[in-house]
Each structure stands twice: as C-alpha cells, then as structure tokens.
Structure 1
Amino acid sequence: MSNVEIEITQKRELHTKLWKMANSLRGNMDANEFKDYILGLIFYRYICEHEESEFKDKLHIGIEELYKTNPAQCRDIAILNLGLGYFIEPQYLFDRMVETIKTGDFELEILSNAFKAYSNSTKGQESEEQLSKLFNDVNLTSDKLGSTYKEKGELIGKLIIAIDEINFDFMNSKIDLLGDAYEYLIGQFAASAGKKAGEFYTPQQVSKLLSMIVTKDLTDVKCISDPACGSGSLLIQVADRLKEKDGKFIHIYGQELNTTTCNLARMNMLVHKVDFNKFTIHQGDTLKAPSADQREYGKMDIVVANPPFSANWDPNSTMEKDDRFSGAGKLAPKSYADYAFVEHMVNSLSANGCMAVVLPHGPLFRGNAEGVIRQYLVETRNYLDTVIGLPENLFYGTTIAACICVFKKNKTDRNVYFIDASKYFEKGKNQNILRDEDIQRIMDAYASKKDIDKYAHLASIEELQENEFNLNIPRYVDTFEEEEEIDLNEVMAEYHRLDEEDKKITEELNKYLEELGLPKF
C-alpha cells in the first residue's frame, strides 16, 4: 500500500469518528467553536499517553508508582529530566478520566482542574511561553455545552469517550492528525464557521513536495522558518524530511496571526515529537510585527510558507523604511500582500539556504508595483530559482491553481526553471490530490533542470528580459496539444456511407409497415 493509500485510509477512519463527535455538538455550537473542544481533548490524550510512555520506556517505572513515593521528584523528572516541559498528575491522566466517566463519577471540575494543573506545571519553566496556554480555547464554562453544570459535564464526558475509542497510533501515523482533524471539521461546516481551513492548513502532499524541495541539497541546518505557519504542517514535514535523510536541525521558528491556530501549531509540534525547546511559535502579524527571530536578516536556512493568497495589508510609510521591503523601491499593493510575504521570507533566508513559497498565479504576471518587485528579485538580486505550476483545486477553500516559487541566494547562473505540473494529479471528491508519482515527476525535473517537452523549460535571463519579467508559465512551457488533422474527404465518404445505410434500413422498415397496414416513413 502506497503512502497516499495509507493516508487516505487513516483519514477515512479519523473522519468517521470526528463526524460522530461533531454531530454530538453541532446543534449547540458551530464548527469553529466545537473544533476547539475536539482538538484540545485529542491533544490532551496525546500528552497523557506520551508522559506515561516516557516514564515506562526511559525509566522503566510506572508514573503512579513513582508519584506515590515522591510527588515533587516525579514532577521534576517529567519536566526536567525527561524534557517534557509539563507534568500531568496520575489522577488527571486521560485513561483515568475515562474510568471515572464509565463509573459515573466524572464531573466537569475534574477536567478543569486537570487543565489548570497542567498549566501550573509549566510556570517558571523554560516551556512556559510555548506550552502554558494550550488549553485556553477549551471553554468548559460555555452555556453552549449545556444549560446546567451536569449537562456540560455529560457532553464533555461523551466527547472523551468518543476520543478514547479512536485507535490513534500517534507515533506511526502517516497523517497530520491535529492538522487534518482541523481541516476536516472546518471543511464540513465551513458555512456555519465562516472560516476557511485553507488559511491555516496546507494539504499533506503539497507540504511533502515543499519539504522535498527545500531539503534536496540540505541535510544539517540551524533554523527552519514558516512566517505564516497556520497549524504547523509545513514545518513538521520539513523536520520529518530531514530526519529521513539522517539530518538534523537546531530550532524551528513559526509565526501565526490567529491565536487559536498558533496554539494548534504548538500542539502539533509536540504530537510530532518535536521537543518544546526546539521550537518557538510566535503569535502576531508577521508583516506588521514580526518576532525578533523572523525579522533577523539571513538567520533561516530553510524558509517555507503558504501565506494567505492575495491578502490585504497596510503598506504605510513605516514599511517603506523597513529593510525587508525597501530594496525594490516599491511596496506590494494594499490588496495583494503576496510579495510582502515573499520579501519578508527572502530577508530571513541565509546565504546558502533554500526557500519555497506557495502563491497564486497573479504575482507571476501582475504589473505596476508587483512587476517592479518581481524584476528586482529576478534581475537585480538573482534570487528566483524555480517556478512550479500546480494542479487546480488542491487547497481547501479555493479551486484556483497555485504555484510554488523557489528562491536561493547562492545561485551560480541567472536562469529560472519553469515546471508545468498542472495536468498531473488524481481527481478527488472535494479536492484534487497530488500522488506520489506526481511529486516524484516534479522532483526529477527539478533535480535535472533539463528541458522536458510540454512539462519543463530552463529559461535564460535573456528570455526573461524579452518577456519583461512576466513569469506566467505558459510563456515558457508550451503545453499546447495539436488536434488531429481532419480529413474532409474521409468525413464525406463516411457521411455518404451512413446515408446509404439509412436508406436501406428505411426501405426494409417500410416493407414491414406495409405488411401491417401501417403508414410508411
């Protein structure tokens, strides 16, 4: 079974359970609200199971046994020695909570106290900034859970039991459990939620492609960055790809505007076994208020992003003096922040690093300020390495086709490679899918930089200049298929043959009609 088939199977199983859980809450609240409860409780189950397995695998002792002997020591071992950055007391572990629900002893206060105890365990620790507020969006006092304290507890109890029934294999899953669950919940009820999952989540296969591109020539890196990280799926894929190559990274940096999604990204890091001291996810507006890490010039060896397509931003006089945007002499338009994100990313990219960004096609050819910035990046700085056209309808929330632009600061030539991969995909029910073979086709071309008929072309700087730095892919990759020439004589001969055949059939039919005494044709 291929990875894609395994992913589809795992997603189907997850979605069935999520649908069941979502329906238990759907009448009370919209998807944007109940996803916080479902994702929060899935994550809580994970950190409980992870804590238990760490004690058993590394210390060869059960957490309850050690806690009975010395609670303070048990807490310090979990936070410091095992490097978890948090501690969950045995009485608050997920499976203990399930037991209390089944025996009828569960009360909402137990979960509320569990969340508080978890948060307090991070206070004063190195992990506090990243881990202390992860359950802030799980509002256990909301009237939408029920009108009485008992009703609220019963509904949360049902959710916990439903989550317990899911056969999560956190360590061996081929899918991004939290990210995919998020996408599914928003996708199913987008109308009521008023949100687009695509703003926060990059499909697994697209993330895989980007991660393969940026790690192709890199193995050991210092810093990985995503300035519009959403649920963190891209960062996770890059980290996994480096591990597959026996490579390593020192630190992951992300920034996300949405507070809830920022916490989701932090959860996702832990679920994918990225230690808390190896990632920093900031909450805030990357363009307006980048973190110190994001702003630093040349810090990141790998930069990836799927920023919101053609978003609005505020290109004011302050931005004109910002080193990230001042080089081209023009700011990205107010209604199209695409190049603002690109320039921010390029600014943070190290001299020998690699950057890959998902963009709509508009930035490839739109004029005015965007044309000036595009020419600056291509001609003046010589940073653009490759443009890859993707199939349409890969992303949730939009059917438009997107592209991937690859940037490097250490290019040895002035060429730009164009790949038109728009026709290679599997048609899906809601979204199209990039198959493993489609990704490999792209990677083979990207590695070779050779001209491939109707698929790829290495454009010289002279060609780019002739096209006035319009990067629209069809200008460089001709995918036109000539229609088969029609032989008019052959068509007419076939027409006459069919006409004669029709006359014979009509004559035969009229004979039968005459015998029956019926009118002829």
Structure 2
Amino acid sequence: MRSSLLLYGKQRKFRGNVIFMANNTTKTELSNALFSAADALRSKMDANEYKNYLLGIVFYKYLSDKLLYHVGEVLENNPNLSLDQAQKLYEDQYRDPDLQDELKYSLSFSLEPKHTFTYILNEINGEARDEKGIKTFQISDLADAFNDIESTSSDFEGLFQDVQLYSPRLGANAQKQADTIANVIKAIGNLEIVHAPGDVLGDAYEYLIGQFASETGKKAGEFYTPQKVSELLTKLTLVNKNYPNGMTVYDPAMGSGSLLLNFRKYIEDVGGKENEVIYYGQEINMSTFNLAKMNMILHGVDSSNQHLRNGDTLDEDWPPLSQTMFDSVVMNPPYSQHWSANKGFLQDPRFSPYGVLAPKSKADYAFLLHGLYHLKNTGTMAIVLPHGVLFRGAAEGKIRKKLLENGSIDAVIGLPANLFYNTSIPTVIIVLKKDKENRSVMFIDASKGFEKKKNQNALREEDIQKILDTYRKREDLKRYAHLAKYDEIEENDFNLNIPRYVDTFVPEPPVDLKKVASDLHETNIEIEQTQKELVGMLKELTSDDKDVMEGLEAIIKELGGELHD
C-alpha cells in the first residue's frame, strides 16, 4: 500500500477545485449560513470580532473536508464519497503510515479523525454526553484541531490565532463557550465548500464586511476590493502582454489576497498557466495577513509560489530589489493614510528621485511610488486612489509633475462612486509604466458605467470591457475618453483632473418656439372646452338655500358663464 499511495501522490497533487459535485454551495446559501452563524455571536461581540470567528471556522471546515475527500479518493478511488463515509474510512485507516505520508505529501497537513469538522459536527448534532451527563463536545476539541493544523508546517502557523476560543465573550463558563461555538459549527455544517466554484473565502469575507459595515457603522472595506474592480485592475496590467513562461505579481497592500489571486483566472489570456504565477504580497494587519494565507491555501497555490509578508510597506521596503522586479503591480491601498514622512525617506531609493515626500496626512503617493519602484521596465502597474491625487498641489503636485515628465503615467480612469464598502467617494485608477515611448496620458471617464444595487454600485462586465477596449485603442471617444499629449497636460499645469480632458457635458436640445406656440394653443382650447363642460354641469345644480345659489352663480360667472342663459 505504501508504494501505491506515494505513487498516487507523485502523479497528482490534490487540488480542492478540481472536482465539482452536484451539491455546490451558492453565494446565497453561503450568505444564509453565515447569517445564521453570526446570530450565535451577534449579541456577544462587535461584528468586526465575530468576522474572525466565522472566517476561521469556515477555513477549518474547508481543510477538514478537503482531507476527507482526499482520503476517499486515495483509498477507494472515489471522489464522490460523502463526508460521513470518508470519515468512517479515515477512522479505520488513520494509523496506516502510508496514508499519513500521502496526506502530508499532497495536502501538507493532517488531522486526527476526532479533530475533523465532520466528527465534531456529528458529535454536536448527536448531543453526545459522557457518563456524567456532560456534553462531549468541548472547546478543547476545536482547539486541538486547530493545533493539529498549525503544527504541521510553517505555512499553517498562526492561522487561527484570531479565533479566541476561550474568550469570555463567548460565554461566562466553558460550557456556554462550547455551546456558542457549537451553534456556529451547526450553522455552516451543511455547506459544500471544497467543490464550490469561485472564491468561497472571498465571497464569505465580502458578505461579512458588508454586515460589519451595516451593523456597526464602521469602516469595513479597508482590505477588500470588490471582485469586478479586482478584475479590471488585473486585466489592465495584462493588456498587450504575453507571459508564456509565467509571471510575477505584487500587491504591497494585499489585504485578503483576493486581488492577487485574480491573476490565476486571467493568465491564460496572456499565454500562461495558473501554476506559473508567482505571488508577492505584504499586509500590515496580522489578522488580514492570516486571511490572505488562508486564501492562498483555499486556491491551492503551491507554497513555493507565494511570498507573503506581515509588515509595514512604507516603513520598510520589501521585497529587496535584488530579489525580484514584477511584471504586474496592483494595489488598492487605504486612502489618504497617515504615515511618518520622516526626512530620512528622502534617501530611500523609492522616493529620492522625486525630491519631496508624500505629506504625512496623505500617503497615497508614497504607496504609488513604492509600487512603481518595484515594477519591471516591461511591466504595468494599476492602483486605485482618491481623485485628490490628480490635482492636489504642494509636494503631491511636484511628485505628479515628475511622474508626467518621466512618462510614467499611462492612463487615468475615473470610476463610479460608491463601489467600495469603506467609502462612497468616486475613485480613480492610475495605470503606470516604465517603458513608454511617449508621455501621452489616456483619460477615461467611466463614472457613469455601473449597475446600481441596494447598498452600493457595481461594475458590470460590459463596463469593464468598454474601459479595456478604450485603453487598448488609445483613441478619443466622445464624452468618454481623450488621449492627451504631454504639451496639453503641461498647459494645464500638470493637473490631471479628468473633466479638464474629457468633456461629458450634454447640451440641452434647442427649443422649437413654433411647436411651443402650437402646444399652448391646443392647451388653451382644451381648457376652454373643459370650462364649458364644467359650467354646463354646474347649471344643472339647484338648491332652496339662497346663499348656496348665490355662491353657485359666482363660481359660474368666474368660469365665464351665466347661471341663466
């Protein structure tokens, strides 16, 4: 058995999105399950905190289910075994060293049978109790399961540290804490996550930060870029590119990693394969950094293809320039973030060519220059920023002028307002290059191309395609796009405000006075006819009350008639 299992592992590494089953989980089912799971936590803590519990437990279920499906495929050559069938099989064969070798080879982690999500869920649903009448499921069961995973390799280290299982917020004592977590597990217990198409963790995260924003009124979207915006950013950097030998991509403010992972969807369009993308990402928030690691694992990205770092992008340059320059740089950094702007940064090669630093109160250009510094001469960068970067003066104006003089700014694309969870302001995508033949800038006003949804706007596929086609052709399009030469930009004092270059004004059609006169005449005739009909009806009215009849006669006279003809 040992040789056959190891041969199986060498022939094919298991990927969670390879096999699709009939019971795929839809986004609606996922949202409903997460809403129910949140109910168990909603009265106990802030939504920003229960987000960590829900995402951590969803990820744990994914890993556990992935392991059991793989056991069924390896031992029975049957990827369609139910989780309960695979659980029984795993319990019977767990101690076989060949099986453990295979799991660690293909999955890089292992779980004891009593620590799988399926085992714990069955334990909870069965309300199992020991001989003293105490419920069998305890918080320590889940803690041990997390420890199983985290201790397997450095790739999994610290992934569940935000799931504070022994927090008093979950309950006043151990049993109440266990009951709370049990309710969360039951709520998501029937979800099919492993074989669900799409970005399950991204969908879950998007739903939860939307709930977080609506329930607490706090900024929720600092580290999440809506999928359609991510798609646009990714595709912009791939226009007119060809990467048959793979590519390197970098997001210096990666958040949950969803923006980076878009490249695996579209690399085939530029001649590459998804396993030929090398990912680099940096994130300052530890919780969100762990989320990005989970996302990479969920998408089956090989550990050798991912280089993620928990750190401050602006404070300390990473990665070292000698290590790599990137084919694509994409970024949706926190807008107008404060940073130190220490004078020592004037000696930093990322910022020194510009002679000034981005202001302390607005790090937008600091993020932009960091990304541009790490871009290959043949690469493309796309970054989302607030419109202020287009026209603000002082240090930002000097940086902008230098970028334009160097020909680094390739396009300015105005997006619709209210696309993001954390802000309703309109934003702009700036596309940058180092290998441009000229200093012209393509301006696109895409602010009116969107679908209005309940809580926010969304880009449609046709909106994205129109932007990409216009960017690729670099031709003027009335009320939508303009290719501005450097001289024109210089005449505008290097102000890149889009309305200076794209006139979207639609003049009112001229008034046809003859038609107005004709309409007025017809209206007067209709009024006169209506008054005659009303007078006729009023004349038919009668009363023995003298005052009533005098009032009626006064109304009829006002309408141009007589009570008695």
- 8 A contact 2:263–2:277 mirrored in 1: no
> What is the CA-CA distance between 1:383 and the residue it aligns to?
1.3
Give 1:195 deviation, angstroms. 3.9
Matched, 1:32 2:57: no
1:298–1:387 CA distance, 2 compared to 1 (3 A): farther
The alignment partner of 2:424 has SS state of: coil
TM-superposed deviation, 1:505: 0.8
Contact 1:229 1:235 in 2 (8 A): yes
Aligned to 1:260: 287
One of 16, 20, 32 as aligned partner of 2:32: 16
Question: CA distance change for structure 1 residues 100 and 297 in 2, over 3 Å: closer, same or farther?
Answer: closer
- For residue 500 of structure 1, the aligned residue among 522, 525, 530 is 525
1:344 aligns with 2:367: no
Equivalent pair of 2:209/2:221 in contact (CA under 8 Å): no
Q: What is the Cα deviation at residue 60 of structure 1? A: 5.8
Is the 1:186–1:195 contact (alpha carbons within 8 Å) kept by the matching residues of 2?
no
In structure 1, how many angstroms separate the alpha carbons of the residues matched to 2:382 and 2:323?
Answer: 17
**Alignment equivalent of 1:138, drawn from 163, 177, 187:** 163
User: Structure 1 pair 372/393, CA: closer, same or farther in 2 (3 Å)?
Assistant: same
Letter of the 2:120 partner, please give it.
M
Query: What is the percentage of aligned positions where both structures have the same residue?
Result: 44
CA distance in 2 between partners of 1:507 and 1:222 (Å): 83
| Gap runs ≥5 in structure 1 | 1-8, 123-127
CA distance in 2: counterparts of 1:38 and 1:258, whole angstroms:
18
Residue 91 (structure 1) aligned with residue 122 (structure 2): no
| SS of equivalent to 1:181 | helix
One-letter amino acid of the counterpart of residue 225, structure 2: T
Question: Aligned residue for 2:303?
Answer: 276
The counterpart of 2:67, out of the listed 51, 55, 58, is 51
Offset of 1:504 from its aligned partner? 2.0
Q: In the comparison of the two structures, how many residue pairs are matched?
A: 499
Structure 2: how far apart are the matches of 1:296 and 1:234?
Answer: 25
> Matched residues in 1 for 2:93 and 2:237: separation?
45
Is residue 417 of structure 2 the alignment partner of residue 392 of structure 1?
yes
Q: Which residue of structure 1 aligns with residue 141 of structure 2?
A: 110
Change (3 A) 1:142 1:192: farther
Matched with 1:209 is 232
- Aligned letter for 2:333? P
CA distance in 1 between counterparts of 2:246 and 2:217 reads 39
Structure 1 residue 46, shift from structure 2 partner? 0.8
- Distance in 2 between the 1:329 and 1:405 partners? 21
Alignment partner, residue 313 of structure 2: 286
Q: Which has the larger radius of gyration?
A: 2
How far residue 36 of structure 1 moved from its aligned partner, in angstroms, is: 1.1
Matched letter for residue 353 of structure 2? G
Q: Give the aligned partner of residue 182 of structure 1.
A: 205
* 1:31-72 C-alpha deviation (Å, 9 max, x unpaired): 1111111100100011112233344446767655553222xx
Answer with 33-42 or 59-68: which moved more. 59-68
In structure 2, the gaps of 5 or more residues are 1-24, 78-88, 129-136, 543-548, 560-565
Secondary structure at 1:479 match in 2 = coil
Q: Is the alpha carbon distance of 1:54 and 1:280 closer, same or farther for their aligned partners in structure 2, counting shifts above 3 Å?
A: farther
Is the Cα contact below 8 Å between 2:67 and 2:103 reproduced in 1? Answer: yes
RMSD (Å) for aligned C-alpha atoms = 2.1
Matched with 2:477 is 452
Find the aligned partners of 2:477 and 2:516 in 1 and give their Cα distance: 35
Structure 1 residues 415 and 303, CA, compared in 2 at 3 Å: closer, same or farther? same
Name which of 494, 497, 501 aligns with 1:472: 497
Return the alpha-carbon distance in structure 2 between the equivalents of residues 200 and 326 of structure 1. 28
Aligned to 1:421: 446
TM-score (norm 2): 0.84
The counterpart of 1:199, out of the listed 215, 222, 231, is 222
- Distance in structure 2 (CA, Å) of the matches to 1:342 and 1:205: 21
Residue 194 of structure 1: how far off its partner (Å): 6.1
> Which amino acid letter does the alignment assign opposite residue 413 of structure 2?
I
Asked if structure 2 preserves the Cα contact closer than 8 Å seen for 1:228 and 1:307, the reply is: yes
* Structure-2 separation of matches of 1:24 and 1:300: 44
Match of 1:305 among 331, 342, 345: 331
- In 2: Cα distance, 1:372 partner to 1:66 partner: 68
- 1:361–1:297 CA distance, 2 compared to 1 (3 A): farther
Query: 2:134 matched to which residue of 1?
Result: none
Q: How far did residue 258 of structure 1 move?
A: 1.1
Letter in 1 for 2:161: N
The structure 2 residue matched to 1:375, chosen from 382, 394, 401, is: 401
Could you list the runs of 4 or more consecutive aligned residues of structure 1 that deviate by over 6 angstroms after TM superposition?
none
